[in-house]
Structure 1
Amino acid sequence: MRPSRLLFSAVLALSLAVAACGRGGGDARPPEPGDRAVAKVQDETIWASDVKREAVAQGLVGEGEPLDVTSDLFRRVLDEVIDQKLLAREAERRGLDNSALAQRRLEATRERILGDMLVETVVNNTISERKVEELYQEQLRLARTSEEIRTRLILSRTREEADAVVGILAQGAAFEAVAMERSVDEATRFSGGDLGYSTLDVMPQAYANALRDKPAGSTVGPFQTEGGWAVLRVEDRRRETPPTLEQARPQIVRYLTYEGVRQLLEDLRGKAEVDVLLNGDAARPQEPASAPAAPAAGSPPASAPAAASAS
């Protein structure tokens, strides 16, 4: 086994002991239809589905992607699964699985696995093509009311410098050339100040306020921002171009999964008696810690996922 994988395998060895504690010897029956035995560690069979599951857990392949048993990747992950089982067996031989700490960690691993299986069964199975299509159509309706604006920026450190920029532009100098020469914004100056297309709702407030009613061809500013004094040129205004259904699908599925897990946990907490044994503010009810991370700022509101522009 390669040293770079040793620590990773050692950590997962205890997880494998969850199943090892209850096994009664090798099982020749495939766990999934069409499964294939690919190795044996003493009396325990390793199936192709075990290797695929490990590859998915490591992010090496997607859940729905195939993993060819003849590929180098399959063989590499198979070697890791064999190493994990050998480590788990040795941990059992030394009695490490009998300690109170090991039992608590094994139980925690078991609960995580069961929780994941519940999500797969209850939540993922409810994410239908119809629901994906409905949310996509809702997002399309929202996108039809949004406008994208392409702008260029010249950022100055002081008002005096920004006024000088406006004077140079008024004499007919090309905005792109002045941006390359005078802008202090290193991210855009070498592209002539090009900020690309974006909608007002994702712009800094100062930019959005300055650009709200300005037509294409306008020069706007100077106005103060957090980074300095800005002068903008409106290059183009157009209706927001929504992504295709296939482009939006991953984000829609993530959103539906998040909402499904949130609702499931809310229902379970409503039925269970949960006492948080903490004092003060920490004891106030909060969103379940096991819920997936909420969408980041700029992500969809509760009604629908925000689809990124395809431009």
Structure 2
Amino acid sequence: MTPNSRIASILMASLLVLTACGRGGGDERAPEPNDRAVAKVQDQTIWASDVKREAVAQGLIGEGEPLDVTSDLFRRVLDEVIDQKLLAREAERRGLDNSPLAERRLQATRERILGDMLVETVVNGAISDQAVQTLYQEQLRLARTSEEIRVRLILSRTKPEADAVIGILGQGASFEAVAMERSVDEATRFSGGDLGYSTLDVMPQAYANALRDRPAGSTVGPFQTEGGWAVLRVEDRRKESPPTLEQARPQIVRYLTYEGVRRLLEQLRGKAKVDVMLSADGAAPAQEPASAPAAAPPSQVAQPAPAGTPAQ
């Protein structure tokens, strides 16, 4: 984390601490079962769950991953949480939390957190093992209809060069050796032109069209592509190997979460009255926000020099 991003993280979290301080942050009860007090700033306890939540917010660990209280990472994040509380207390002492702008920012932060908690409660709570398993089985069904193709490539700059490659291969030369000697594709030439296994739907259209019905062992081309003239060899064709359930689970959970949030927002927008106050062309009225800095008086604004006046 860069120094600027660390400071930004501390300042954002300090806003949250200000809210907690305003509600009496000296509660000694553990916020979670088996939680552990790890530090104290004046009369406010810092719990292990506070540190872990901050580590998750910074993307240092994933949701649900453990964080050892004896690790260097835990201690580093703990120091940041202490800094957050010290900054928040000082801001509170100076009365910075009492301004209308501070109240609006704190309210926006509170609403963001409450929205996240609603998603965790309503959406994430509805993502069952059965829902994950059902979607995984659907992916398996689709995967059984897909085929992976392993291909090697020799890429030439011109068609005459590609025709010469076909002639050399026709004399019995090894495709891998010719690829290493003549292919201009730096990404694959030193592996004998090996492109690995992939499905037709993710290949460039020119490759997919050329390979669609070609059996293993075929030499295809030359044909023109964006990078030059290609000659391909089909090494193997096989049914696509689907990921295991555990490999696919994170992606499935993300998809189900996205769909759950989308449906929830559709329901909420359907029940609520929402007025978007923009002009017909979509632009907001040309007006400075209340928090914008005041304009300089006319006497302080530099006036253009009369024509012909020498520059100072």
Structure-1-length-normalised TM-score:
0.85
Q: 1:114 to 1:225 in 2, by over 3 A?
A: same
How far apart, in 1, do the equivalents of 2:176 and 2:34 lie?
62
- Per the TM alignment, residue 63 of structure 1 is displaced from its structure 2 partner at its CA by 1.9
How far apart, in 1, do the equivalents of 2:249 and 2:68 lie?
26
- Deviation string for 1:276-309 (max 9, x for gaps)? 22345659xxxxxxxxxxxxxxxxxxxxxxxxxx
- Deviation string for 1:174-205 (max 9, x for gaps)? 11111112212111111111100001111111
How far apart, in 2, do the equivalents of 1:220 and 1:15 lie?
62
Partner of 1:137: 137
How far apart, in 1, do the equivalents of 2:282 and 2:37 lie?
50
Alignment gaps of 5+ in structure 1? 284-311
How far apart, in 2, do the equivalents of 1:103 and 1:257 lie?
31
How far apart, in 2, do the equivalents of 1:122 and 1:206 lie?
46
Alignment gaps of 5+ in structure 2? 284-312
- Per the TM alignment, residue 27 of structure 1 is displaced from its structure 2 partner at its CA by 0.8
How far apart, in 2, do the equivalents of 1:95 and 1:48 lie?
29
Partner of 1:261: 261
Query: Given the alignment of the two structures, is residue 12 of structure 1 paired with residue 9 of structure 2, yes or no?
Result: no
Query: Given the alignment of the two structures, is residue 242 of structure 1 paired with residue 242 of structure 2, yes or no?
Result: yes
Which residue identity does 1:195 align to in structure 2?
Answer: L
Partner of 1:108: 108
How far apart, in 2, do the equivalents of 1:196 and 1:280 lie?
53
How far apart, in 2, do the equivalents of 1:25 and 1:139 lie?
48
How far apart, in 1, do the equivalents of 2:279 and 2:182 lie?
57
Equivalences for residues 78-97 of structure 1 within 5 A:
78-97=78-97
Partner of 1:252: 252
Q: 1:3 to 1:261 in 2, by over 3 A?
A: closer
Equivalences for residues 214-225 of structure 1 within 5 A:
214-225=214-225
Which residue identity does 1:151 align to in structure 2?
Answer: V
How far apart, in 2, do the equivalents of 1:203 and 1:280 lie?
44
- Per the TM alignment, residue 251 of structure 1 is displaced from its structure 2 partner at its CA by 0.7
- Deviation string for 1:67-110 (max 9, x for gaps)? 22222222221111001100111112222222333222212111
CA RMSD in angstroms comes to 1.8
Q: 1:102 to 1:259 in 2, by over 3 A?
A: same
The structure with the larger Rg is 2
Which residue identity does 1:222 align to in structure 2?
Answer: P
- Per the TM alignment, residue 57 of structure 1 is displaced from its structure 2 partner at its CA by 1.2
How far apart, in 2, do the equivalents of 1:19 and 1:68 lie?
25
How far apart, in 1, do the equivalents of 2:159 and 2:153 lie?
15
Partner of 2:297: none
- Aligned to 2:217, the other structure's residue is in SS state coil
- Deviation string for 1:18-53 (max 9, x for gaps)? 222x32251111111222221111111111111111
Partner of 2:271: 271
Q: 1:108 to 1:249 in 2, by over 3 A?
A: same
How far apart, in 1, do the equivalents of 2:63 and 2:269 lie?
29
Partner of 2:195: 195
How far apart, in 1, do the equivalents of 2:7 and 2:212 lie?
57
**Total equivalences in the alignment:** 281
How far apart, in 2, do the equivalents of 1:169 and 1:176 lie?
10
Q: 1:190 to 1:278 in 2, by over 3 A?
A: farther
Which residue identity does 2:147 align to in structure 1?
Answer: E
- Per the TM alignment, residue 61 of structure 1 is displaced from its structure 2 partner at its CA by 2.1
Q: 1:160 to 1:279 in 2, by over 3 A?
A: farther
Partner of 1:73: 73
Which residue identity does 2:10 align to in structure 1?
Answer: S
Runs of 4+ in structure 1 deviating by more than 6 angstroms, as ranges, are none
Q: 1:194 to 1:279 in 2, by over 3 A?
A: farther
Partner of 1:57: 57
